[in-house]
């Protein structure tokens, strides 16, 4: 038999075996998904032939640059536990690459120089979010995170003025200190002589973080909201339910297609969460009788923003400022537990701040100015952000061409992504990238490194508006906890699997042991 025929038969056999394996992964009830994906693949390839690519676009390397590339890439990343490692491998290989995912083609920027061109751009046509953010829309509506153009520009200016100015951040310290006290007490109930905590640390922390966000935006604690009569869920349970739904769509991207999602029984729950959470927030705004000056209603109404618009921003702030901070705190505590030497240095620094009458009140509450003195703690926090960035992925859909260098220009309509760990673990900028080395963030090291090599809160005009508030919470909570407790863990970093959920999330709750310090400075709290 001719060699060419043998090769052709082998290729056909390999393709048949591959398709058989793919089909085996779908239950009978989900067979429609495979058919729909194949249809999307056909449409995608027809669409790609019509798109006029920019200069050098076709020369951008990457996996699956062939007819079945979309299915091949989806198959490669079929296991959520492997997605992070797959992307890290690609980033280690390419400074820029593109990947087909059925009906979408994504260009990944993996160098500070390229990221600066996009995220540093002041062209409003480069600010729209990519398709992955569509999963958030049922929860946050068209608030600051997803809005574009003049609406985004106006809202950003107003929120910066009334929610995140230096003066307002100072005023939040009262809330942060109060919740820090609550958190210390809650941890005290779980502090043991050596056994693991009976309740996951993230569940304890999330109550305090959510209370801060709802007090700032609505003027009351999340626990003050009544249960949703229609579902018998609390407001916190609604928010967590939305997080889980979004994560499912991220990990199983075919559910992002509305025509498929409507066949999933969870689509009804998503609709309920969307409607009831918006209704709850609106009712709180309409019936607001707050006399403490908390909440953003009065200031935003004075700026001409309607109640509906304020509700959008409240939902956005809760959605964006809750989950990320809770996960970041859990990861930070974990890394401090794994590195007791650095934990002790942070504890000594915290002690010096709490014992300074100019930085700490007689009630043991930190002044806003005290946070800038927690320099080593901040270095450790930034190293935790670098090693395990909570916001691990960001994405844009450019509406105007952008030139990255002389040989590469991305055309209008390109989906552009930044996988943050790929840059954070580049040995060119961070030698020995897998090691926990806080000194990377000393003033001298920062000065000699591109500001676009460290992206914990994104960067540029559309960076995270709540980054300073999140930093306040993390530094305040951690300083207070280290002042009272020693943190240990029975887990090893190499054994923990991180999933690409809404945030970089441990597959299972991390195991902690919390012990009171031998000389507890706050035994009576």
CA torsion through residues 382, 176, 164, 397, sign? positive
As given in the structure block, the two tokens for residue 169 are 């951040």
Mean pLDDT of 329-341: 97
Is-contact 318 215, C-beta < 8 A? no
Q: pLDDT category, 469, cuts 50, 70, 90?
A: very high
**Is residue 524 situated within a structural domain?**
no
State which of 106, 128, 150 marks the end of a domain.
128
- In a shared domain, residues 120 and 156: no
Q: Can you say which residues are annotated as belonging to the binding site?
A: 464
Cross-strand pairs, 396: 129, 416
Domain count along the chain: 2
Q: Which of 26-40, 72-86, 229-243, 484-498 holds the top average pLDDT?
A: 484-498
Q: pLDDT category, 12, cuts 50, 70, 90?
A: very low
Q: Which of 13-27, 242-256, 364-378 holds the top average pLDDT?
A: 364-378
User: Which residues touch 432 (CB under 8 Å, ≥6 apart)?
Assistant: none
- In a shared domain, residues 98 and 165: no
The closest of 96, 115, 114, 107 to 459, measured between CA atoms, is 115
Mean per-residue pLDDT over the chain, rounded:
85
The closest of 109, 150, 151 to 414, measured between CA atoms, is 109
Helix axes 3-24, 69-76, angle to 10 degrees: 50
Count the helices and strands in the chain (H runs, E runs): 21, 10
How much of the chain, in percent, has pLDDT values that exceed 70?
Answer: 83
**Is residue 521 situated within a structural domain?**
no
* pLDDT over threshold 70, residue 6: no
Q: Bigger pLDDT: 265 or 420? A: 420
Give me the pLDDT at residue 443, please.
Answer: 96
* pLDDT over threshold 60, residue 196: yes
**Is residue 523 situated within a structural domain?**
no
CA atoms in the 13 A half-sphere facing the CB of 398: 23
Q: pLDDT category, 520, cuts 50, 70, 90?
A: low
CATH number of the domain enclosing 458: 1.10.630.10
Is-contact 278 315, C-beta < 8 A? yes
Q: How far apart are CA 39 and CA 24, in angstroms?
A: 19
**Is residue 522 situated within a structural domain?**
no
Give me the pLDDT at residue 524, please.
Answer: 40
- Scanning the structure block, which residue is given the tokens 């492997």? 82
Q: Bigger pLDDT: 263 or 293? A: 263
pLDDT tens by residue, 142-170: 999 999 999 999 999 999 999 999 999 99
* pLDDT over threshold 50, residue 460: yes
Q: Could you write out the DSSP letters of every residue in 255-315? A: GGSHHHHTTSTHHHHHHHHHHHHHHHHHHHHHT----SS-SSHHHHHHTT--HHHHHHHHH
CA atoms in the 13 A half-sphere facing the CB of 203: 11
Give me the pLDDT at residue 294, please.
Answer: 75
**Is residue 160 situated within a structural domain?**
yes
- In a shared domain, residues 140 and 123: no
pTM, rounded to two decimals: 0.88
* pLDDT over threshold 60, residue 11: no
Give me the pLDDT at residue 32, please.
Answer: 62
User: Which residues touch 493 (CB under 8 Å, ≥6 apart)?
Assistant: 334, 335, 338
* pLDDT over threshold 70, residue 468: yes
Give me the pLDDT at residue 55, please.
Answer: 78
Give me the pLDDT at residue 22, please.
Answer: 46
- In a shared domain, residues 105 and 175: no
Give me the pLDDT at residue 287, please.
Answer: 82
Give me the pLDDT at residue 490, please.
Answer: 92
**Is residue 487 situated within a structural domain?**
yes
- In a shared domain, residues 43 and 67: yes
Cα angle for residues 325, 395, 164 (degrees, 5° grid): 40
Q: pLDDT category, 239, cuts 50, 70, 90?
A: confident
Mean pLDDT of 329-333: 97
Give me the pLDDT at residue 227, please.
Answer: 60
**Is residue 235 situated within a structural domain?**
yes
Secondary structure (H, E, C), 309-353: HHHHHHHHHHHHHCHHHHHHHHHHHHHHHHCHHHHHHHHHHHHHH
198-207, 396-405, 480-489: segment of lowest average pLDDT? 198-207
pLDDT tens by residue, 337-374: 999 999 999 999 999 999 999 999 999 999 999 999 99
Q: How far apart are CA 203 and CA 195, in angstroms?
A: 18
As given in the structure block, the two tokens for residue 407 are 């040989």
Q: How far apart are CA 356 and CA 284, in angstroms?
A: 40
Q: How far apart are CA 281 and CA 287, in angstroms?
A: 10
Q: How far apart are CA 187 and CA 210, in angstroms?
A: 17
Coil, strand or helix: which one is 417?
strand
Q: pLDDT category, 14, cuts 50, 70, 90?
A: very low
- In a shared domain, residues 91 and 226: no
CA atoms in the 13 A half-sphere facing the CB of 305: 25
* Paired sense of beta strands 104-109 and 415-419, if any: parallel
Mean pLDDT of 44-71: 69
User: Which residues touch 103 (CB under 8 Å, ≥6 apart)?
Assistant: 40, 41, 43, 44, 47, 70
What share of residues in the chain are helix, strand, coil (percent, to 5)?
60, 10, 30
**Is residue 10 situated within a structural domain?**
yes
- In a shared domain, residues 121 and 198: no
Cross-strand pairs, 416: 107, 396
- In a shared domain, residues 306 and 438: yes
The closest of 490, 159, 140 to 323, measured between CA atoms, is 140
Coil, strand or helix: which one is 233?
strand
Q: Bigger pLDDT: 57 or 357? A: 357
Give me the pLDDT at residue 258, please.
Answer: 83
The closest of 169, 282, 140, 304 to 218, measured between CA atoms, is 282
Give me the pLDDT at residue 93, please.
Answer: 93
Give me the pLDDT at residue 26, please.
Answer: 46
Q: Can you say which residues are annotated as belonging to the binding site for heme?
A: 464
- In a shared domain, residues 204 and 287: yes
- In a shared domain, residues 233 and 95: no
* pLDDT over threshold 80, residue 27: no
Mean pLDDT of 54-77: 75
- In a shared domain, residues 27 and 149: no
Give me the pLDDT at residue 334, please.
Answer: 97
- In a shared domain, residues 328 and 364: yes
Q: pLDDT category, 215, cuts 50, 70, 90?
A: very high
State which of 97, 128, 159 marks the end of a domain.
128
State which of 128, 154, 185 marks the end of a domain.
128
pLDDT tens by residue, 70-129: 667 777 777 888 889 999 999 999 999 998 876 678 999 999 999 999 999 999 999 999
Residue 119 belongs to domain spanning: 3-128
How much of the chain, in percent, has pLDDT values that exceed 90?
Answer: 57
């Amino acid at each position: 038999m001719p060699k060419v025929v043998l090769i052709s038969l082998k290729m056909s056999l390999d393709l048949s075996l591959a398709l058989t394996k793919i089909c085996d992964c779908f239950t009978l009830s989900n067979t429609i998904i495979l058919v729909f994906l194949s249809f999307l693949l056909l449409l995608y390839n027809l669409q790609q032939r019509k798109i006029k690519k920019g200069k050098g676009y076709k020369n951008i390397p990457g996996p699956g640059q062939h007819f079945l590339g979309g299915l091949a890439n989806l198959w490669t990343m079929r296991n959520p536990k492997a997605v992070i490692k797959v992307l890290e491998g690609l980033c280690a290989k390419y400074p820029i690459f593109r990947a087909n995912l059925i009906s979408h083609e994504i260009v990944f920027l993996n160098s500070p120089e390229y990221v600066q061109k996009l995220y540093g751009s002041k062209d409003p046509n480069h600010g729209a979010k990519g398709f992955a953010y569509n999963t958030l829309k049922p929860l946050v509506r068209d608030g600051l995170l997803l809005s574009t153009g003049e609406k985004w520009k106006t809202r950003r200016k107003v929120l910066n003025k009334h929610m995140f100015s230096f003066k307002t951040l100072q005023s939040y310290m009262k809330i942060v200190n109060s919740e820090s006290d609550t958190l210390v007490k809650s941890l005290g109930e779980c502090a043991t002589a050596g056994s693991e905590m009976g309740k996951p640390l993230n569940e304890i922390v999330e109550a305090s973080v959510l209370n801060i966000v709802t007090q700032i935006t609505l003027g009351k604690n999340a626990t003050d909201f009544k249960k949703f009569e229609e579902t018998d869920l609390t407001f916190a349970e609604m928010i967590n339910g939305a997080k889980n739904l979004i994560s499912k769509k991220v990990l199983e991207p075919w559910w992002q297609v509305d025509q498929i999602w409507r066949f999933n029984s969870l689509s009804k729950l998503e609709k309920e969460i969307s409607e009831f959470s918006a209704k709850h927030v609106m009712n709180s705004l309409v019936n607001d009788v707050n006399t403490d000056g908390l909440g953003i209603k009065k200031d935003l109404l004075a700026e001409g923003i309607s109640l509906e618009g304020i509700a959008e921003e409240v939902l956005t702030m809760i959605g964006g400022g809750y989950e990320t901070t809770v996960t970041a705190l859990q990861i930070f505590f974990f890394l401090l537990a794994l590195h007791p030497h650095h934990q002790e240095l942070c504890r000594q620094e915290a002690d010096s701040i709490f014992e300074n009458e100019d930085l700490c009140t007689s009630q043991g509450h930190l002044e806003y100015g005290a946070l800038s003195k927690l320099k080593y703690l901040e270095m450790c926090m930034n190293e935790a952000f670098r090693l395990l960035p909570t916001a691990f992925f960001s994405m844009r859909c450019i509406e105007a061409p952008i030139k990255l260098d002389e040989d590469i220009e991305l055309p209008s309509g390109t989906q552009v992504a930044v996988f943050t760990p790929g840059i954070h673990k580049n040995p060119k900028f961070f030698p020995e990238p897998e090691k926990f080395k806080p000194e990377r963030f000393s003033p001298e090291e920062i000065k000699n490194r591109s500001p676009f090599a460290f992206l914990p809160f994104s960067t540029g005009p559309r960076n995270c508006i709540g980054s300073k508030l999140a930093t306040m919470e993390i530094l305040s909570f951690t300083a207070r906890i280290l002042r009272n407790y020693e943190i240990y863990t029975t887990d090893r970093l190499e054994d923990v699997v991180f999933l690409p959920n809404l945030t970089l999330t441990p597959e299972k709750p991390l195991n902690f042991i919390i012990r009171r310090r031998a000389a507890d400075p706050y035994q009576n709290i």
